[in-house]
Structure formats: structure tokens, C-alpha cells
Amino acid sequence: MTAMLEIRNLRKSYAGVHAVDGVSFDVEQGSITGLIGPNGSGKSTTIDCIAGFQKADSGRVVLGSSDITGLAAHEIARAGLMRTFQTVRVYDRLSLRDNLTIAAQQFDKAKWTDELLRTARYREAADAAEKRARELIDLVGLGRYFEAEAGILSYGQKKLTALAAALMPRPKVVVLDEPVAGVNPTRIREIEEVLQRLNAAGETFLIVEHNVEFITNLCHHVVVLDQGRKLAEGTSAEIHTDARVLEAYLGMTPEMAEAEMRGAA
């Protein structure tokens, strides 16, 4: 397996608080990797440092074969690490197609001068963007709204549109910050299926989430943080039976967890 993203010994303090205290892990190419932990364990700070929204005090972040440590957020996005936000960013007055083609233009090699001159290169880029937009909107299950204004979509559908937009420039890794926070429970399963479809189509995800069930259903590999440190990592099954994780995160002893599983069986 190849690591698409390597995080090595990342540290970040705020006025003496060790928010992230020497965290290392890999996101394998083609994986869905989960980052979980109790409130205040350092999840947001970790992904902020990875994506360049905060500057780490020390440590290294390598994306593919590029060292992206200390780069600005827009440079990291250009290098191929996209982050979607808890708050949805779609343009309500634009169609889903236009929301996506605009997202692609930010990273296109074809420049505004090309558009002005309507060069072959520009038309080629525009055609490719349109085709990719169609594919992605189909993959997130919103094909019938392709030409519709994004303003008519539900909150969950807007989140899926924002996700599709983030995938337009073919990122190497997509970081999702709490993708099911505030989403109706009946829709969570849909988002899970969409992420599985996108993953099957080759996308690599790092997902930060409070919803443990969502993470354990979806993720090939789970990293658990506690008080700024990596407490454990492994498959969902390994995490679920790890005594330290059960105690620190789920507030259970292994006996309680086992009793609960017997109860559920």
C-alpha cells in the first residue's frame, strides 16, 4: 500500500495548551481513513494544520511525493489536498453544473485570456470540466438536478454538491470535516453510500467525525486522538475492542462493550 498523505510528529500549541502533541499517521491511497476522538482532542487543529489553515509548530506533512508542510491553504489545495467545510458553500443562484465548473476553473491551466480568445485549449478544458461535473453529480446522486439552481436543494443535497465541487480538480486527498453533522439521521446512510461510491471510483478520503457509527461503517482505517495524542489506530473492529479507546472515548470498559454487543446480537 502507498501512503497518499503522511503526517509526521505534528505539534501545535495555543498559549500553552498542547492542542496537537506529536501526531503521526498515514492516509493510504484509495482509502477512507477516519479521525475520531472526544471533544477537544485535537481533531480540528490536526486537519487545520494539514490543510494550511493553521501553521503547525513542528512536524511534517507529505502529500503524494510533495512536502506541503507550512504551505498556505490555497497552495495546498493546488497541490491536491481539498478540504470541505462544516458550513456549506454553494452558489444558490447557479445551477449545479455551474457550481461545479466554477470550482474547476479555480485550478485550471486555461487562463482568463484563453477564455477571451476562445482558444481550442479553453474549449477543451471547458468540455472536460462539463463532463467531469456530470459524472460527479451523478455519483453523488443528484443527476436530476444538474441544470437546476442549487438554491432549491435541501441542506444535505447542498453538502453533496459542495463535495462534488471539491472533487472537480481531481484532488489526491479530500478532507471532510464532520460530513454528517446536522444531517437528518435518515440521510446519513445516503451520504455513507455516496462516499462509498466515490471511494470505489478512486477517491481517497480523510474524514473527521463525531458520529462513531458512521466512521466505523465507512472507514478502512481509524485513527483515535485523545488530548492531542494518538491513542490508537487500526481497523474499525480493532478500534472497537481497544480497551483504551473504549475507556477514553466511549466511556466504557471492555466488559460493558461486550455486554452491549451481546445485547445487540
Ligand X SMILES: Nc1ncnc2c1ncn2[C@@H]1O[C@H](COP(=O)(O)OP(=O)(O)O)[C@@H](O)[C@H]1O
| Binding positions for ligand X, rule: CB under 6 A | 14, 17, 19, 37, 39-45
Residue 42 carries which side chain, given as an amino acid letter? G
Closer by beta carbon to ligand X, 15 or else 120: 15
What is the arrangement of strands in the sheet containing 205-208, beginning at the earlier edge strand? Answer: 81-84, 173-177, 205-208, 32-36, 221-226, 229-234
Closer by beta carbon to Mg ion, 47 or else 77: 47
Regarding 204 and contact with Mg ion (CB under 5 A), the answer is no
Closer by beta carbon to ligand X, 134 or else 210: 210
Q: Which stretch binds Mg ion (CB under 5 A): 38-46, 51-59, 225-233, 248-256?
A: 38-46
80 binds, among ligand X, Mg ion, none (CB under 5 to 8 A by kind): none
Q: Output b/e per residue, 95-118; b: 16+ Cβ within 10 A.
A: bbbebbbebbbeebebeeebeeee
Closer by beta carbon to ligand X, 44 or else 204: 44
Q: Note whether 147 and 137 are within 8 A (CB).
A: no
37 binds, among ligand X, Mg ion, none (CB under 5 to 8 A by kind): ligand X
87 binds, among ligand X, Mg ion, none (CB under 5 to 8 A by kind): none
- The cell numbers describing 46, all together, are 490536526
Residue among 44, 69, 157, 211 that touches Mg ion (CB under 5 A): 44
Question: What's phi and psi for 151, nearest 5 deg?
Answer: -60, -25
Q: Which stretch binds Mg ion (CB under 5 A): 42-50, 56-64, 187-195, 225-233?
A: 42-50
- The least distance separating ligand X from the CB of residue 61, rounded to whole angstroms, comes to 16
155 binds, among Mg ion, ligand X, none (CB under 5 to 8 A by kind): none
Residue 116 carries which side chain, given as an amino acid letter? L
Closer by beta carbon to ligand X, 34 or else 80: 34
Closer by beta carbon to Mg ion, 19 or else 96: 19
Question: Strand 3-14 relative to strand 58-63: parallel, antiparallel, unpaired?
Answer: antiparallel
- The least distance separating ligand X from the CB of residue 81, rounded to whole angstroms, comes to 18
- The least distance separating ligand X from the CB of residue 237, rounded to whole angstroms, comes to 23
Closer by beta carbon to ligand X, 178 or else 203: 178
Q: Name the residue number minimizing CB distance to Mg ion.
A: 44
Query: Which residues contact Mg ion by CB under 5 A?
Result: 43-44
